[in-house]
Chains A and B, each alone.
Chain A
Amino acid sequence: MGVGLPAGGKLEIEYTSGVWTDVSADSMNDPFTISRGRTSEFSAPSTGQLSGLKLKNTNGQYTPLSQVLVDGTANPNYPNITPRKRIRYSNTPAGVRCVGYVKGWPPFVDSDGTKWVAITATDRLDQLSRITLKSPIAQEVANGSPAYLWPCTDVAGSTQAIESSGKTPLMIEQTGTGGTVTFGDPGPGVGDGTGVTLAPSSASAGKSFTATVLPVLAADWSVALWVKTSTVSRALLSGFLTPGTLLSLDATGKVLGAGSLTSSASITDGTSWHLVVLTFAAAGGGTTTLYVDGVSQGTSASWGGFGPQLGKIRIGQSAIDEPGAPEASSLFAGSLGYVGVFSSALSASRVTSMWQATNGYYGDTSDQRIARWLTAGGMTSADWNLDTGKAIVGTYPQAGKDIVSACQDMATTEGGGAVFYVGADGKARFANRAFRKPGAPVMTIDAEADLDGSVYAPSFDELTLFNQSTGNRAASSGTLSSQTYTDPVSSAAPPTGYGLTTDSSGVTSYATTDADVLALAQARVTANAYPGFRLPQVAVDLVTAQNNLYAALALVEIGSRIRVTNLPVAMAPSTQIDLIVEGWTETIGTDTYKVVFDTSPADNPARGVWDDTSYGRWQCKGQTLNAGITNSATTIVIATTAGLPLFTTVAARYPLKIQVGQEIITLNNAPGATSPQTFTGCTRGVNGTQAAAQASGATVNLWPAVTWTL
């Protein structure tokens, strides 16, 4: 058993925030492994893991809860040997390879007396999977840490609105006689539950709410509520002390805030929910800001640095004129939901997010939605690396889902191999569907010089075959609909085709349009209707590889392209194969650094890229060899069916690659202008393919044949 880490390796533990302690010298190094990713672009990545790590515990310094070491001195690590401490492994020059959270520190003693602790750690996906999301409005309000929140989602027949953490409820207050309070009416948001409707018999007689908000809030505060009404000149919210009415509606339905701010537009349309927020920040002389529907309507300094203290509030009635009977005026008529009081001045971005929750975030791009949920999980933009999503997302039933499941659903909706996972650097990563755009490989592995042959197990089978896929658009994203796409050639009965094979898992999308869902189903079929030669796994040992691949490893992500060159003839149809990385396992020992990549085939078919000389050409049609060629001929004559476009005569467009049978040929020179077109000086058997005799009439394709993506 070796001791220590391979050259360049470093193992650190974060006992206290931001301070990383190097524990490399304690690694016992039975090889330990770091794994992340998935085996197919249609599955979700597993939680990343660091496992098999052993730390020497000779003096008991890693024994949990142990305050005193074997030698009787104080344990410097006490009380930090606890679960969820962060551990990271880095390598120079491959960079940080893993940031995990320790699951436990079980101590062991071998028969020879060697003491050690076994460490297993998981990445942040494990943490995020334990956090359950609330409905959009409830989540956004919760993100603002309300001191009091009355969701008003109480069942029909309730006589008070409970406070979400059990503090004082909103009590019904009667002014004059008559009027009703109806719980269980439609509420704001999407999936955010019911609301409450206040229907006074007149502006001066009816019911409203009141609550005591004690202890007295901090100097900064905010109030927020969702309203729907068609009645003007009524109060929304008032405080106990001067200046009294904090929020009300004027005679045109505009919102009046703090006596000096007016919204630019009326909100008394009677059909839509509106969010009204008033914030007060004591710093800088005291600033009051009114927000309506997420947009600032202006600020005021009229209160100075001493704003009103919210000892008691009323909802739906004007200023309280205590002592004595309640003053009857301006009773609110309409619906309410999610009334919140905050002991901080909410930021403009927080208010905007609260407003965006009102329509269930409809119209987000997939990455924006993921960012919202990661925010709910306590992360900030420094903790993630999200590509801009291409898919437009509708509403999503997020209440009760864990963050990871919800984010994976967004990756599925994005489609095209998009993936959500935690990268080697510990940041949440979302790669969009354009990430697999064809291009240069980030790592090239020479089969003779670098490849670890023990894992070489190519396959050519029907495991990944399907030629019919159904995309379901979830009812919760707007409309329940189902789109099915079938590849007619592949689904023909054998021996002509492969027979109809349905994508058993199907796909559920939360996109806003049926067109997106159909495109998703088509993309899945396109990539799987024709089995390709696959290398499900590729292994390389960085220590023994003849080429230095450490720096390239730092660039590998899920969705990256890697290339295997120099494959022995007969082991593969060509000597060069491009693969897409779906995941990998690193096994690190004293004298080994083995990386096994889980891969899927690249370019089967290639995705089209606009204006790209290799991947931006559309397939030709109706082209055949005008005469047979030997395996060494360099002059090729291609005939084109009358009426179809010919090969271009523009010299700058060459060299250009074509495929005949399994052979790829480079056309180096422009041909004549009429069919049949003669190409001289062609290069045979390129890209690792074998030059072969080709028959007259053989079909000519461009290489690679590109396809539409989503």
Chain B
Amino acid sequence: MGIMTPTQPAVGDLATAAWADEVAQDIVSLAGEAAPAPLLFTPGGNTDTPGAGTATWVTLGNITVPTWATKCNVIYTCNGIYDTGTTSNVSAVIKVGSAAGGLSKRIDAPGVANQRFHMPITDRVTGLSTGSQSVTISATFSSGSVVRADATSFFTAQFTFQP
């Protein structure tokens, strides 16, 4: 007994809707604009997460969302950031224009003040607006100290668009 789970199709199989997402991604990856160059951003000086509430932490730059795209997968990294105390409780989410990613991820600081650490996150953003959009990381303060990026830190983001 069991439920059938989609598996990779074999040559000659009928093309079924169960594989629609995978195929859409494959097709998209064949198109030139589907995977724009990665964004790389380095802050000019100290850039802290907000001490209360939710605010934009860093702005990575702009990307062009293709006219046919409605969603994207994004891999972004926060490199060389650090906790200004030992008790930060801050979550971060990526935004493309006004569309936010599905994950609001707590920044896993090591619990040691001023020790640099890295954080890679994979997320999916739906409901994209097309055209040039600003890519930001929004942070929400919960308790304790704030997390800081400085001129030694850098952020990257890589997008794969889907219809």
Given contacts A643-B33, A645-B30, contact A706 B15 (CB under 8 A): yes
How many Å from the CB of B118 to the closest CB on chain A? Answer: 33
- 13 A–B contacts, CB within 8 A, in A order: A359-B1, A363-B1, A363-B2, A363-B3, A392-B3, A512-B3, A519-B18, A607-B14, A608-B14, A610-B14, A708-B15, A708-B17, A710-B16
Q: Which of A252-260, A531-539, A611-619 contacts B (4 or more CB under 8 A)?
A: A611-619
Residues of A within 8 A of B23 (CB): 618
A338 at the interface (CB under 8 A from B): no
How many residue pairs link A and B with beta carbons under 8 A? The number is 70
Within 8 Å CB of A182, what residues of B?
Answer: none
From residue B128, how far is it (CB to closest CB) to chain A in Å? 13
Interface residues of A in 606-641 (CB under 8 A from B): 607-612, 616, 618, 621-622, 641
B13 nearest CB neighbor, chain A only: A610
Number of residues from A at the complex interface, CB < 8 A = 32
A341 at the interface (CB under 8 A from B): no
Contact pick for B4, options A392, A434, A437, A641, CB 8 Å: A392
- CB-CB < 8 A to A710: which residues of B? 16-17
| B17:A434 contact, CB within 8 angstroms | no
What are the residues of chain B within 8 A of A708 when measuring CB–CB? Answer: 15-17, 20
Distance between Cα atoms of A519 and B27 in the complex (Å) = 22
A260 to chain B, nearest CB (A): 31
Question: Within 8 Å of chain B (Cβ to Cβ): is A373?
Answer: no
Q: Is the CB of B3 within 8 A of A609?
A: no
Q: Which one of B4, B10, B11, B17 contacts A522 once the chains associate, using CB atoms below 8 Å?
A: B17
Label chain B's interface by main secondary structure: loop
Contact B33 A609 (CB under 8 A): no
Please measure, in the bound complex, the distance between the C-alpha atom of A512 and the C-alpha atom of B2, giving whole angstroms.
Answer: 10
Which residue of chain B is the closest to A618 with respect to CB atoms?
B27
Is B53 part of the contact surface with A, judged by Cβ < 8 Å?
no
CB-CB under 8 A from A612, the residues of chain B are: 11-12
Q: Is B44 an interface residue (CB 8 A)?
A: no
Q: Of A362, A434, A519, A621, which one neighbours B13 at CB under 8 angstroms?
A: A434
Contact indicator A644/B15 (Cβ below 8 Å)? no
Kindly state whether residue A433 has any CB partner on chain B within 8 Å: yes
User: What per-residue 1/0 map shows which CB atoms of B22-57 lie under 8 Å from chain A?
Assistant: 010001001111000000000000000000000000
Please, which residue of chain A has its CB at the minimum distance from the CB of B26? A618
Q: Is there an interface contact between B1 and A709, defined as CB atoms closer than 8 Å?
A: no
Q: In the bound complex, do residue B15 and residue A608 qualify as a contact, i.e. CB atoms below 8 Å apart?
A: yes
B interface, CB within 8 angstroms of A: 1-4, 9-18, 20, 23, 27, 30-33, 66-68
Q: Does A513 contact B (CB under 8 A)?
A: yes
User: Whole-angstrom distance between the alpha carbons of A644 and B2 in the complex?
Assistant: 40
The reply to whether A611 and B12 form a contact with Cβ atoms under 8 Å apart is yes
Q: Is the CB of B3 within 8 A of A513?
A: yes
Chain B nearest CB, measured from A506 CB (Å): 20
Chain B residue numbers with a CB within 8 Å of A362 are 1
The smallest beta-carbon distance between A484 and chain B, in angstroms, is 16
Give the chain A neighbours of B3 by CB distance below 8 A: 363, 392, 512-513
Residues of A within 8 A of B12 (CB): 437, 609-612
Verify B15–A610 contact, CB threshold 8 A. Answer: yes
6 tightest A-B CB contacts, nearest first:
A608-B15, A363-B1, A645-B31, A611-B11, A643-B66, A708-B17
Inter-chain contacts of B10 with A (CB < 8 A):
610
Q: How many angstroms from the CA of A622 to the CA of B67 in the assembled complex?
A: 11
- A-side residues, CB < 8 A to B, are 359, 362-363, 392, 433-434, 437, 512-513, 515, 519, 522, 607-612, 616, 618, 621-622, 641-646, 706, 708-710
User: What separation, in Å, do the CA atoms of A434 and B14 have in the docked complex?
Assistant: 6
Tell me the complex Cα distance, A261–B31, Å. Answer: 65
Find chain A residues with CB under 8 A from B31 CB. 643-645
Q: B4 — which chain A residues lie within 8 A by C-beta?
A: 392
User: Which chain B residue has the least Cβ–Cβ distance from A607?
Assistant: B14
Residue from B2, B17, B27, B66 whose CB has the most chain A CB atoms within 10 Å? B17
Contacts of A641 in B (CB 8 A): 67
Taking each of B13, B15, B31, B68, which has the highest tally of chain A beta carbons within 10 Å of its own beta carbon?
Answer: B15
Task: Give Cα A703 to B2, complex, Å.
Answer: 38
| A116 vs B11: C-alpha distance when bound (angstroms) | 57
Please, how many angstroms separate the alpha-carbon atoms of A145 and B122 in the complex?
60
A434 surroundings in chain B (CB, below 8 A): 13-14
Inter-subunit contact B1/A610 (CB<8 Å):
no
Q: Are B30 and A709 in contact (CB under 8 A)?
A: no
In the complex, the chain A residue whose C-beta lies closest to that of B27 is A618
**Least Cβ–Cβ distance between A54 and chain B, in angstroms:** 46
By a CB distance below 8 angstroms, the chain A residues around B13 are 434, 609-610
The answer to whether B17 touches A519, judged by C-beta atoms less than 8 angstroms apart, is yes
Q: Which chain A residue shows the least CB distance to B4?
A: A392
Chain B residue numbers with a CB within 8 Å of A706 are 15
A622: which B residues are within 8 A, CB to CB? Answer: 68
Partner of B68, one of A608, A610, A618, A644: A644
When the two chains form their complex, are residues B16 and A643 in contact, meaning their CB atoms are under 8 A apart?
no
Q: How distant is B48 from chain A, measured CB to nearest CB, in Å?
A: 38
